[in-house]
Amino acid sequence: MPHVDLKFITRNLTADQQQAISDDIIAVLKKHFNSSDDSVSIMMHEIPADDWKSEVYQPIIQANMNSLVKKPGYTMD
């Protein structure tokens, strides 16, 4: 039962755009985890660019850098 918590800089996505992203994520999870549509949950958090460092980079990315499967190609000192 995968759960995806997607954080991204605010893009003001429409409901249709959010649904398209969700559909694509579900397709990947179905392929690699043999998940069903009913077993997947997805949250989308639009984070203002000015808050990215304090809300996402420092507490989530930087604090877990050694555990990330894909590390970012940027730093925020």
Q: Is 2 a catalytic residue?
A: yes
H or E, element range at 46: strand 41-47
Q: What is the pLDDT of residues 1-33, one digit of tens each?
A: 999 999 999 999 999 999 999 999 999 999 999
Contact status, residue 4 vs residue 43, Cβ threshold 8 Å: yes
| Residue 49: other Cβ atoms inside 10 A | 8
User: Phi and psi of 27, rounded to 5°?
Assistant: -60, -40
Cα–Cα distance, 70 to 68 (Å, whole number) = 5
pLDDT at position 77: 83
Catalytic residue among 2, 48, 59, 72: 2
Q: What is the pLDDT of residues 17-74, one digit of tens each?
A: 999 999 999 999 999 999 999 999 999 999 999 999 999 999 999 999 999 999 999 9
